[in-house]
Structure 1
Amino acid sequence: MQIIHAKQVLTPNGWQSDLEVSIDEGGRIASVGPQVKTPTHRVALLLPAPLNLHSHAFQRAMAGLTEARGPDPRDSFWSWRRLMYKFLDQLTPDHVEAIAALVFMEMLEAGYGAVAEFHYLHHDVGGIPFANLSEMSERIVAAAMTSGIGLTLLPVHYQFGGCDLRPLNGGQQRFGNDPDRFLRLHEGALAAAAAGPDDFNAGMAPHSLRAVEPAGLSAVLSQATSGPIHMHLAEQVAEVDEVLAHLHARPAEWLLGNHAVDDRWCLIHCTQMTDAETTALAATGAVAGLCPLTESNLGDGIFNGTTYLGQGGTIGFGSDSNVHISLFEELKTLEYSQRLRDLSRAALATQTCSTGRVLFEAAAKGGSQAGGRKSGRIEAGAWADLVGIDDDNQWLCNRQGDAALDSLIFGGGGQACIRDVWSAGRHVVKQGRHFRRDAIIKTFKATMHQLETNI
């Protein structure tokens, strides 16, 4: 059994001092209480390590390659998307596993304890299925096991190139399935996750209302009897216009009017919603899955966080394209987007909790819910997803409580303060370094050399 002594702990009942947190051999928190046993680890500040609720791991290899302006002066998400499809043609299963292992390692070093991988790269070039239909799902599981991160695997159903049901072409073909083949692939993904550690699980992810038509959406959802359900929703203006033209309703309006959205759902981005849609989605109990760094990078727009949280909505955070993996920067970027839009300060703070406290607790709660993972709380019975913070430095200066969280998120040095990370009790980051850092980076660099030679 591991015994952690912490000077400060963020518990479900608020900040507490000088606590002992024990982790059992199965990776769960066994007890939280006064310091009575000899510790195996000491930390200054102990926090629940949130789940990263939205990742496309393979896109990490593109970071920095799509920042030049192309010949079209209207460069946007859609031109980025075309470059992404060109890049896809190079990726083999070995490449995907190496990239995912690097991504998952970086998430752990950034303070995430688990990830929900929105996995849609299923087939070989040209859309030819691998002999093992779930080959790529198994590679994601293998990468998670190499890194030690907790995993919620979300195989993605993707059938069409738009609401007009045009066929997939180019790189898109690697994503595609009809509902029957997707459900077979989904079964294989469930089996792959079940073969991993006990904290691994799986759900389902219809990609979007652009990529899945209404009958196909109903067909796959009828088989989603357990686990989380994730979907991209209302990310881009062009997407909203396309859905409105073909389904005669805006994306959020259509989904809420045609399906029983509840707390199993996580809707990703939601950056193009009206106030009425924002309020209606908040009332369902679903998680709004926010990826502020990617949404900023792609020019998606600004999520209406003040209204959503004001209506009791649940949010969580993901790294999406993995252009920059930083938990604290994701939180800060959401808050700053609200301030810039509304010309305000402390936009998401409440009368009782600081901005950083609101953001961090939202990330922990929403991530746990979105991942179908009992984590995000330092209490007995939860998975021991924990992050240990050093407070004796120039960024935290031994600050207490909410002031320490605010300094982590807004002070610029938060990630440098991370010393330890546990995922389901696996002590994967020590002294700020992942235990397999050197080997994972070596394999990733070899992979990138192969890819960049061919792009």
Structure 2
Amino acid sequence: MTVLWCANVLLPGGWERNVRLTLAGGRIAGIAVGEAPQAGDERHAVVVPGLPNLHSHAFQRAMAGLTEVRGPAGDSFWTWREQMYRAVDRLDPEDVEAIAALAYVEMLEAGFTRVGEFHYLHHGLDGHAYDDIGELSARIAAAASSTGIALTLLPVFYAHGGFGGAAPGHGQRRFINDVDGFARLMQSAGRAIRDLPDAVLGLAPHSLRAATAPEIAAILPLTGGPVHIHVAEQVKEVEDCLAFAGARPVDYLYDHAPVDERWCLIHATHMTEAETARLAGSGAVAGLCPITEANLGDGIFPGRRFAELGGRYGVGSDSNVRIDAAEELRLLEYSQRLGGRARNVMALEAGVSTGRRLFDAALAGGAQALGAEAGIAVGRPADLVGLDAGTPSLHGKSGDALIDGWVFAGGRAPVEAVWRGGEKLVEAGRHRARAAVERGYRRVLDKLAG
């Protein structure tokens, strides 16, 4: 049993002062408000819930900083995708595990305590399945185990290279399964996460380009967990869907799949007003990845309108070009400011803290999308983030101003301690396994550069 005495704690009902949190069995066993610290209590100035990271492609962390040279014909998501295909051509299972471990260490150090791993790298270098078809899913689970992050594993169904069941290209060979092969993959993935605390198994049809409507219907019964899909990320995707089906991607998805609260629509950047209302009204979560969307030049999600309609959203680190929970929230707000030439857009109402509104939405939406519980309440997982009130961005602040200071001025710097399942994994801003994980990651980069 561990007891934390916290000068300031963000509970579901709001901020409370002088709180003793009792952690036992990986969960929050007690919350006592307005109490003095006792001998043996571990003291912290500010404690908030850990955030869910609802969308990650861990292996892409190894590409960070390597795709920023302009090509001969201009650059876009589609030219970046070709570079990604070349990068996966050299990764073996040990490499995948080492890269994921670094990404997960950095997520924890940034204040993310659960990751939704949208995992589509399945097969060997020649495109054939490993003896265990879920070998690389097991490597993701191993990275989660060694770093301590909570895992929602989302094996990806990827069968085609374009709308209408187009044949996949050479660069996609490591991703491809038919429905029967994917069913075997799901069974293997379930075994891989069986011993991970609080692990969740969902699934993810990659996109409407990569999975047909009948295939999506066939795989949905393979799990009762979350369902994630990329949709309407790029203008070209919208144009291709219109050419194929005479409908835009979000409308097509809703017309052909039972989208509800289980679902998370990743990006959903390019929607009409009607599509935006359709997504907001369905109870599904919009999975927003502002850093990656900016890096790839995707466009701006209709955040203000979606929020006004009661839409649920969370954030993810996607390509992991930079892993920073506060920056994802900050960039989400800043994109809305740039698009609408206004300030404090996502707060929606006068007198409301923008940082707090973003944080609360990402906490609730991310938890829903990952099939998990979140927030500091008795019985819930003890997934906590301690912020250093002595950092310049938080100094002298209280209440929601602490969140605003973290999101808009602090970044990763204020994250002092992180507990996942009651276990302290980050102290003084550094994950306890960082040194060993970094060595493994550097080995992979040296190999890729050789």
**TM-score over 0.5 for the pair:** yes
Give the SS at the match of 1:347: coil
CA-based RMSD of the aligned residues comes to: 1.1
Cα deviation, residue 191, structure 1: 1.6
For the 8 Å contact 1:3–1:38, the answer to whether it is kept is: no
For the 8 Å contact 2:228–2:263, the answer to whether it is kept is: yes
User: 2:412 pairs with 412, 415, 433, which one?
Assistant: 415
For the 8 Å contact 1:126–1:170, the answer to whether it is kept is: no
For the 8 Å contact 1:353–1:402, the answer to whether it is kept is: no
Give the SS at the match of 1:416: coil
1:183 and 2:183 aligned: yes
Within a 5 Å distance, the mapping from 1:317-328 to structure 2 comes to: 317-328=315-326
User: 2:377 pairs with 366, 376, 379, which one?
Assistant: 379
Q: Alignment length, in residue pairs?
A: 447
* d(CA) in 1 for partners of 2:43, 2:366: 26
Cα deviation, residue 39, structure 1: 4.7
Code of the residue aligned with 2:187 in structure 1: it is E
Give the corresponding residue for 1:49.
50
For the 8 Å contact 1:395–1:414, the answer to whether it is kept is: no
Code of the residue aligned with 1:207 in structure 2: it is H
* d(CA) in 2 for partners of 1:328, 1:385: 17
User: 1:424 pairs with 410, 421, 424, which one?
Assistant: 421
For the 8 Å contact 2:213–2:257, the answer to whether it is kept is: no
TM-score (norm 1): 0.96
Cα deviation, residue 223, structure 1: 2.8
Structure 1: runs of 5 or more not aligned:
none
Give the corresponding residue for 2:119.
119
Structure 2: runs of 5 or more not aligned:
none
Relative distance call for 1:126 and 1:53 in structure 2 (3 A) is same
Give the corresponding residue for 2:246.
248
Code of the residue aligned with 1:13 in structure 2: it is G
The superposition leaves residues 311-341 of structure 1 with CA deviations (integer Å, 9 ceiling, x where unpaired) of 1111000000000000011000010010111
For the 8 Å contact 1:125–1:171, the answer to whether it is kept is: no
Cα deviation, residue 352, structure 1: 4.8
For the 8 Å contact 1:156–1:206, the answer to whether it is kept is: yes
The superposition leaves residues 350-396 of structure 1 with CA deviations (integer Å, 9 ceiling, x where unpaired) of 33531000011111111111110112x11011111110001122111
For the 8 Å contact 1:3–1:22, the answer to whether it is kept is: yes
Within a 5 Å distance, the mapping from 1:125-144 to structure 2 comes to: 125-144=125-144
* d(CA) in 1 for partners of 2:16, 2:187: 44
Give the corresponding residue for 1:71.
72
Give the SS at the match of 2:69: coil
Within a 5 Å distance, the mapping from 1:57-206 to structure 2 comes to: 57-73=58-74, 75-197=75-197, 199-206=198-205
For the 8 Å contact 1:86–1:171, the answer to whether it is kept is: yes
Cα deviation, residue 38, structure 1: 4.0
* d(CA) in 1 for partners of 2:108, 2:134: 25
Cα deviation, residue 6, structure 1: 0.8
Give the corresponding residue for 2:20.
20
Give the corresponding residue for 2:435.
438
Give the corresponding residue for 1:335.
333
Give the corresponding residue for 2:344.
346
For the 8 Å contact 1:32–1:379, the answer to whether it is kept is: yes
Give the corresponding residue for 2:446.
449
For the 8 Å contact 1:53–1:289, the answer to whether it is kept is: yes
- Between the aligned residues of both structures, percent identity stands at 49
TM-score (norm 2): 0.97
Give the SS at the match of 1:128: coil
The superposition leaves residues 237-290 of structure 1 with CA deviations (integer Å, 9 ceiling, x where unpaired) of 001111111122111101112222111111100111111111110111111000
Give the SS at the match of 2:82: helix
* d(CA) in 2 for partners of 1:230, 1:345: 31
